[in-house]
Amino acid sequence: MKMDGMREVNKALNNIVGRSKNATKSALHRSAQGVGTEANRKVREEYTVKAGDVKNTIRIQHRGDHEIDILSRGSALSLPKFRLTPRAPVAKQPNKAVKVAVKKGSTKKIKRDFVAAMPNGHIGAFSRVVGQSKKRKRNAKGDYPTLPIGESFGPAIPVMMNNDRVVKHIEDQAIERMDKRLDHEFGRIFK
């Protein structure tokens, strides 16, 4: 039995299958980019951190044709990356209280901290490290030095992205964006 046009039908079907694979890859990649942007926006909705600091930690990693990981890697942020008062060392009021707003809408006073500039120009919130096992010795003036000091840090961006509201929003956006992108990509193929 011989049927006319089967070769053309098979060719057309193979073309559609190849194009549909490319469409799903494209939809997945574009959705991941949008979800990364949404994650950045939602983190900044919850915390007083800058967009550039969040964006620098987000990575999109392809794991095959149909899987993408959106990762965030980074270390704890120094307090000036958040809303810190005072922003710079205050010479006239060295004991001015340090306040920081890590989450939007909540400001906390940090006892024993002070804002100082390091010799390399880094400004941070520091405090004297308490509980050192070594006994401090008097210096040449007869005073006890106030060192060692340590810097105070806020949470890391990955910790902020692990907030329940942020995770829920990211998951919802991933589903919504993937549906829209698939509709768009397959609409292009079949038109």
pLDDT tens digits, 46-59: 999 999 999 999 99
The pLDDT of residue 1: 41
Contacts of 112 (CB under 8 A, 6+ apart): 127, 128
Q: Give Cα separations from 41 to 49, 59, 120 (angstroms).
A: 10, 15, 32
pTM above 0.85? no
Q: What confidence score (pLDDT) does residue 170 get? A: 92
Average confidence (pLDDT) over 94-110:
87
Rounded distance between C-alpha atoms, residue 181 and residue 26, angstroms:
8
% of the chain beyond a pLDDT of 90: 38
List the Cα angle 59/61/62 in 5-degree steps.
155
Q: Which amino acid is at 2?
A: K
Distance (Å, rounded) from C-alpha 37 to C-alpha 51?
A: 10
Residues 6+ positions from 170 with CB-CB distance below 8 Å? 35, 38, 39, 42, 70, 161
Residue 107 CB-half CA count within 13 A: 9
Mean pLDDT is lowest, of 5-14, 35-44, 111-120, for 5-14
- For the record, the structure tokens of 138 come out as 């008097």
Q: Tell me the average pLDDT across 7-27.
A: 73
